Amino acid sequence: MAPAFLLTRPAADSERFAGALRDRLREVRVVISPLADIRQTEPVPPLGAFAGVIFTSRNAARLAAGLAPGLPAWTVGDATAAAAASGGFAPVSAGGDADALVARMSAEAPSGRWLHLHGAETRGEVVPRLAAAGIAAEGLAIYEQVPLDPAPEAAALLSGPSPVIVPLFSPRAARRFADLLPVAAPLSFAALSANVMEALDDARDRPRGPDPHDRIAARPDAAALLEACVDLHAAVRRVEGGWGGG
What is the total count of domains within the chain?
2
Nearest Cα residue to 169 out of 7, 4, 25? 7
> How many residues in the chain?
246
The residue type at 163 = P
Q: pTM score, two decimals?
A: 0.80
**Is 245 contained in some domain?**
no
Looking at 103, 123, 145, the residue that finishes a domain is 145
- Nearest CA among 61, 2, 3, 8 for reference residue 192: 8
The CATH number of whichever domain residue 42 belongs to comes to: 3.40.50.10090
Q: List strands edge to edge, sheet with 29-32.
A: 29-32, 4-7, 164-168, 187-191, 215-216
Q: Which residues of 151-176 are buried (b: 16+ CB within 10 A; e: fewer)?
A: beebeebbeeeebbbbbbbbbbbbbb
Helix ranges (H only) for 46-204 are: 58-63, 78-86, 98-108, 126-132, 152-159, 171-178, 194-204
Give the Cα-Cα-Cα angle 236, 237, 238 (nearest 5 degrees). Answer: 90
pLDDT in tens, the chain (246 residues): 789 999 999 888 899 999 999 999 988 999 999 999 999 999 999 999 999 999 999 999 999 999 999 999 999 989 899 999 999 999 999 988 899 999 999 999 999 999 999 999 887 899 999 999 999 999 999 999 999 999 999 999 999 999 999 999 988 899 999 999 999 999 999 999 998 999 998 888 776 655 778 999 998 888 999 999 999 999 998 874 444 444
Q: Which domain holds residue 9?
A: 4-35+148-238
